Amino acid sequence: MDRQSRFSYQCNQCGLCCHAKVITLSPYDVLRIARARSIATSEAVRRYTLRRGSLLRFGEDGGCVALSGSRCTVHEGRPLACRLYPLGIERTEAGERLIRLDPEPGSRGTYGAEATAGDFIDAQGTKPYFEALETYRALIPAFRARVESIVDFERIEPRDFWRRAVVEALLESNYDPNPLIDAIFDPDGLGRARETESETIRAHVEKLAEMASREDDAERLAAAAVALAISLGYAPGEVIVGR
């Protein structure tokens, strides 16, 4: 599918899609969740996420921790993946591809073809999310260039180096301390909770770039680069040097 494909969907608030999912979060997703609950992003990470802020947390009953009955308690700040449902997006440096997801068994959602996929996506308030993704995306080549500047890939096998980085970035427990990954998912911590979201994001990106430029631990930096790329919806390969 693409944005011109015929598609429409009416959510009827059954809450079934809010169970047993893997929802990857971007730094902006965390910021919006925090603002919806009037808390700091560090607190949003603690309450609502796993994997240092990069995954939405689901409870033992399989339901999203933000779900109350069939009501989303962070609906105003719900993540991009939730806004797009029942569509998904595969992102590469070359562009995006839309995927129509299978409906949940028993779902009350209504599918149709009254509009286009693009109309549906725009109606979900996604514009600031996509804008934020592009702002954070600018960090990927900066992280990649810094890794390349401090690693001698003539001596170190690139495939093994990046494999370790991917494994570390995806760990949900027993991971090594990584201040840069922690900072990626705490915009208030570096952005200092500026007056507007755009100001917070801008300050956050500037501070992350500064942190990366000073980072001398190549493996820690590479893991952070992979974590960032995945959080923005890219495959790990988008950040790997010499792939």
pLDDT band at 237 (very low <50, low <70, confident <90, very high): confident
pTM reported for the whole predicted model:
0.95
Tell me the chain's radius of gyration from C-alpha atoms. Answer: 18
CA angle 69–74–78, rounded 5-degree value: 110
Residue 194 pLDDT: 61
Residue 242 pLDDT: 52
Mean of the pLDDT values across residues 185-212?
87
- Express each pLDDT in 115-134 by its tens digit: 999 999 999 999 999 999 99
Q: Does residue 193 have a pLDDT over 80?
A: no
Q: Where are the chain's structural domains?
A: 6-130, 133-238
